[in-house]
Structure 1
Amino acid sequence: MNEIIVYTTNSCPYCVMLKNFLEAQNIDYKDVNVQQDPLAMQYVVNQTGQMGVPQTKVNDEWVLGFDPEKIMSLVN
């Protein structure tokens, strides 16, 4: 079972594209809005050193930005 967490903000078009892509592939994911959860944003920065969104954690691997091919390569 894949564990996929997408870290997003309200105003990010790539976040919407990424969530739409995952839904189109019938891939379950958890959406964490870092705009509403500053601790989650701090966690992401601590893990990746990156402030930008979307960032996606797929089974303990991080994918920065909108990168469907990389996400699909990590999904079991």
Structure 2
Amino acid sequence: MAKIEIYTTPTCPYCHAAKSLLNEKGAEFDEITVLDPSLREAMTQRANGRRTVPQIFIDDAHIGGYDDIAALDRRGGLDPLLAQ
């Protein structure tokens, strides 16, 4: 199974939606809460300057935020990534 990391904050509705989508797929993921400024800075560097949450990585590939992963799923591209 793929290694999935998702950077979130507790009150972000898009974070909840992304986690829900991954849960519906039966995917296990590591959640990194970025309330600490150093964690958010690490996320920003890793996500090519993107500061918004969620930021999602599958096998170290940057997928993007919720809109990005939802679009990937609609195109049929998410399931093959999760199955790796």
Mark yes or no: TM-score above 0.5. Answer: yes
Q: TM-score, normalised by structure 1?
A: 0.85
Q: TM-score, normalised by structure 2?
A: 0.78
Question: Does the 8 A contact of 2:2 with 2:81 survive in 1?
Answer: no
Inter-partner Cα distance in structure 1 for 2:14 and 2:64: 11
The reply to whether residue 39 of structure 1 matches residue 38 of structure 2 is yes
The 10-residue stretch of structure 1 (50-59 or 40-49) with the greater mean CA deviation from structure 2: 40-49
How big is the shift at 1:44?
Answer: 1.2
Report the residue type matching 1:20 in the other structure: S
How big is the shift at 1:69?
Answer: 4.3
Q: How does 1:21-36 map to 2 (within 5 A)?
A: 21-35=21-35
How big is the shift at 1:14?
Answer: 0.6
Identical counterparts, % of pairs: 28
The 10-residue stretch of structure 1 (13-22 or 37-46) with the greater mean CA deviation from structure 2: 37-46
Determine helix, strand or coil for the equivalent of 1:74.
Answer: helix
In structure 1, list runs of 5 or more residues that go unmatched.
Answer: none
Inter-partner Cα distance in structure 1 for 2:39 and 2:4: 15
In structure 2, list runs of 5 or more residues that go unmatched.
Answer: none
Who wins on radius of gyration, i.e. which is larger?
A: 2
CA-based RMSD of the aligned residues comes to 1.6
Q: Which residue of 2 aligns with 1:74?
A: 81
Query: Where is the helix percentage greater, Structure 1 or Structure 2?
Result: 2
The 10-residue stretch of structure 1 (61-70 or 10-19) with the greater mean CA deviation from structure 2: 61-70
Which runs of at least 4 in structure 1 moved beyond 3 Å after TM superposition?
A: none
Q: Number of aligned pairs?
A: 75
Report the residue type matching 2:81 in the other structure: L
Question: Does the 8 A contact of 1:56 with 1:62 survive in 2?
Answer: yes
